[in-house]
Copies of this chain bind each other. A is one copy, B any other.
Amino acid sequence: MTTPGALLRVTLGEELRRTRQAQGRSLRDVAGEAQVSLGFLSEIERGQKEASSELLNAICGALDLPLSTLLMTLGEQLADAPVLGTVRDISPAAAPEVAAA
């Protein structure tokens, strides 16, 4: 699950969870406001599911977290992360194509 290429998804999920918990809010509360299922939000927070742009936008809206702020925070966090290997380090099986709609 945690291939180098999954780093963004995992870091994103951690940041969303951290933000939600800092607000003292439940998964149910945020999922309801973002109109996403509780289970799916939980999977996103654990870096197990990829969020579409629309869904990420909805979650950020529910958390009163500007998307721009989230992206810059993630950028800073990943800048501190170990440098990733080359494309060759990512097995095709770990890099599925994801359709937007």
Contacts from A to B (Cβ < 8 Å) = 3-10, 12, 33-36, 40, 48-58, 61-62, 66-72, 74-79, 81, 84, 86-87, 90, 92, 94-101
Give Cα A33 to B33, complex, Å: 41
A99, closest chain B residue (CB): B49
Q: Which residues on B sit within 8 Å (CB–CB) of A95?
A: 35, 52, 54-55, 57-58
The answer to whether B99 and A57 have CB atoms under 8 Å apart is no
- Which one of A35, A58, A77, A94 has the greatest number of beta carbons of chain B within 10 Å? A58
Q: Which residue of chain B has its CB nearest to the CB of A34?
A: B87
When the two chains form their complex, are residues A50 and B99 in contact, meaning their CB atoms are under 8 A apart? yes
Across the interface, A97 reaches (CB within 8 A) one of B4, B40, B62, B84, namely B40
Q: Tell me the bound Cα distance from A33 to B86 in angstroms.
A: 10
Closest residue of B by beta carbon distance from A8: B53
**17 A–B pairs (Cβ distance < 8 Å), ordered by A:** A5-B58, A7-B57, A8-B71, A35-B87, A40-B97, A49-B100, A50-B53, A50-B98, A50-B100, A54-B95, A55-B96, A55-B98, A57-B95, A58-B95, A66-B78, A69-B75, A72-B72
